[in-house]
Amino acid sequence: MTTLELSLGARSYPIVIGEGIVESQLRERLEAYRQAHRPIAVVTSPALFGLYRGLFKSLDEIASVIYVTSVDGEGAKSTAELVNLWETLAQAHIDRSGVLLAIGGGVVGDLGGFAAATFLRGIDFVQVPTTLLAMVDSSVGGKTAVNLAEGKNLVGAFYQPKAVIADLDFLKTLPAGEFAAGMGEVVKYGLLGDARLFETLEETNADSLAPIVRRCCEIKAAIVAADERETAGDGGRALLNLGHTFGHAIEKVAGYGSYLHGEAVAVGLMGAARLSEQLGFVPDKSVSPRVEALLAKYKLPSRLRKALPVEALAAAMASDKKVSAGTLKFVLLRSLGNAFTTRDVPAETVKNIWRELGACD
Ligand SMILES: NC(=O)c1ccc[n+]([C@@H]2O[C@H](COP(=O)([O-])OP(=O)(O)OC[C@H]3O[C@@H](n4cnc5c(N)ncnc54)[C@H](O)[C@@H]3O)[C@@H](O)[C@H]2O)c1
């Protein structure tokens, strides 16, 4: 077991990573809450509730309520689900001393985190990520949100958890495609901040996952500690969006659900690497072939699976949440492990990159 800290002054919290740790970690924390007469609520997804009956049975003995979302996946990040969750917390008499435990992937973490941020103007919450993506990315850093019909993550809050408990044993039941999608985010961390991590992913089969998850969390924790609310003019938290501007456009134009988020990000990483090369920021011409090979190794796409129209992709990019004052901030590379942000990218060059990624006119 290994623990690192996300340093945010009084809002600092531990990120505990290990195998087979969830029961003991939760027992310890929940016992302390119970002794302090603090009511506990749990939120999870139907898939996890079905797979981990023993865990939820033991939690049932200690929690005031276990809320299981009505659906699995992105559909559970809806305002309707949020209202149901709020009402369930109220009916279970969760008071301001209450603690909400979010056990699940990024969807449950984002929904539960936003419910915790807003219920009674904020109650404590603990993240127990169960997908690789949630362990290396969504459970750390305090971004919480639900979706609107108009777009993903349009309503949310920055609200840090009290702890993150990442038990790698959960990954044993994770479908292979979801695991691969999580690896997309892992590759992202290597590309944006740690060439050595990128090389480790090239040289091994990532079979020793704990140090990899730890390294990703370290990188994210350092970035978030320095720029919690993504207000830095250059660099900062926006660096974590490497590949995402392309990725979000793919998800939107292909239709949500056609690509897993991590798969769309993988194509986006390829796009960012090629764009960086074309604009002359990356002198080393081996970077994009290495990105392509690494994505293939972890069963991730580096091109669109089916051609999508360039104009629609460009329009989707222009309406990205990250547009401010009419311009889009791109995250580009200088080399493997070294990313930066810029707004100075010609639209035609981006369209050419889309064509290289398999888009059509
Ligand atoms: N808050 C952030 O900083 C942040 C960062 C990245 C992504 N996100 C959000 O995360 C979400 C995606 O998260 P995700 O990829 O974890 O998807 P997810 O939460 O939908 O989980 C994927 C699927 O796997 C199932 N599942 C989860 N854990 C399992 C396990 N251990 N065994 C078997 N099945 C399991 C889930 O029920 C679901 O059906 C998106 O909504 C995205 O916007 C948030």
One-letter amino acid at 328 equals L
Q: What percent of the chain has pLDDT over 90?
A: 93
**46 assigned to some structural domain:** yes
Candidates 96, 97, 128; CA nearest to 112 is 128
Q: Let me know: does 266 contact 243? Beta carbons within 8 Å.
A: yes
Q: Is the CB of 134 under 6 A from ligand 1?
A: yes
How would you classify the pairing of strands 124-129 and 143-148? unpaired
Would you state the pLDDT for residue 308?
98
Four-CA torsion 248, 218, 343, 199, nearest 10 degrees: -80
**346 assigned to some structural domain:** yes
Asked if the model's pLDDT at residue 269 lies above 90, the reply is: yes
Asked if the model's pLDDT at residue 321 lies above 90, the reply is: no
Average pLDDT over residues 112-138: 98
Q: At what angle do helices 261-278 and 347-356 cross, to 10 degrees?
A: 120
Q: Which domain holds residue 224?
A: 181-356
Last residue of a domain, one of 131, 146, 173: 173
Q: Is the CB of 174 under 6 A from ligand 1?
A: yes
**253 assigned to some structural domain:** yes
CA distance 86 to 56: 20
Asked if the model's pLDDT at residue 322 lies above 80, the reply is: no
**157 assigned to some structural domain:** yes
| CATH number of the domain enclosing 113 | 3.40.50.1970
Would you state the pLDDT for residue 58?
95
Asked if the model's pLDDT at residue 326 lies above 90, the reply is: no
In terms of Cβ atoms closer than 10 Å to its own Cβ (0-12, 13-18, 19+), residue 219 is buried
Would you state the pLDDT for residue 257?
85
pLDDT band at 282 (very low <50, low <70, confident <90, very high): very high
Q: How many domains does the chain have?
A: 2
pLDDT band at 90 (very low <50, low <70, confident <90, very high): very high
Task: Pick the more confident residue, 324 or 267.
Answer: 267
| CATH number of the domain enclosing 265 | 1.20.1090.10
**361 assigned to some structural domain:** no
Same domain, yes or no, for 125 and 220? Answer: no
Q: Is the CB of 135 under 6 A from ligand 1?
A: no
**208 assigned to some structural domain:** yes
What residues contact residue 66 under an 8 Å CB cut-off, 6+ apart?
41, 42, 43, 44, 49, 56, 59, 60
Closest ligand 1 atom number to CA of residue 77 = 41
Asked if the model's pLDDT at residue 325 lies above 80, the reply is: no
Candidates 78, 164, 62; CA nearest to 115 is 78
- Tens of pLDDT along 153-165? 999 999 999 999 9
Q: Is the CB of 358 under 6 A from ligand 1?
A: no
Q: What are phi and psi of 41, to 5 degrees?
A: -125, 150
**241 assigned to some structural domain:** yes
Would you state the pLDDT for residue 131?
98
Same domain, yes or no, for 112 and 224? Answer: no
How would you classify the pairing of strands 163-167 and 124-129? parallel
Closest ligand 1 atom number to CA of residue 143 = 1
Tell me the two tokens of residue 140: 């750390």
- Tens of pLDDT along 182-225? 999 999 999 999 999 999 999 999 989 999 999 999 999 999 99
Same domain, yes or no, for 81 and 198? Answer: no
Tell me the two tokens of residue 53: 């009956």
Q: What are phi and psi of 18, to 5 degrees?
A: 180, -175
pLDDT band at 320 (very low <50, low <70, confident <90, very high): confident
Asked if the model's pLDDT at residue 152 lies above 90, the reply is: no
Give residue 312 CA to ligand 1 midpoint distance, Å. 27
Q: Is the CB of 142 under 6 A from ligand 1?
A: no
Same domain, yes or no, for 167 and 209? Answer: no
Give residue 131 CA to ligand 1 midpoint distance, Å. 6
Last residue of a domain, one of 117, 145, 173: 173
Give residue 270 CA to ligand 1 midpoint distance, Å. 22
Same domain, yes or no, for 206 and 150? Answer: no
Would you state the pLDDT for residue 151?
83
Same domain, yes or no, for 317 and 250? Answer: yes
Same domain, yes or no, for 204 and 310? Answer: yes
Last residue of a domain, one of 154, 173, 192: 173
Same domain, yes or no, for 8 and 124? Answer: yes
Same domain, yes or no, for 166 and 241? Answer: no
Would you state the pLDDT for residue 179?
97
Same domain, yes or no, for 41 and 77? Answer: yes
Same domain, yes or no, for 143 and 203? Answer: no
pLDDT band at 319 (very low <50, low <70, confident <90, very high): confident
- Tens of pLDDT along 52-89? 999 999 999 999 999 999 999 999 999 999 999 999 99
Q: Is the CB of 75 under 6 A from ligand 1?
A: no
Closest ligand 1 atom number to CA of residue 170 = 31
CA distance 197 to 336: 10
Nearest residue (by CA) to ligand 1, atom 7, is 138
Asked if the model's pLDDT at residue 177 lies above 90, the reply is: yes
Q: Let me know: does 21 contact 171? Beta carbons within 8 Å.
A: no
Same domain, yes or no, for 74 and 13? Answer: yes
Give residue 113 CA to ligand 1 midpoint distance, Å. 13
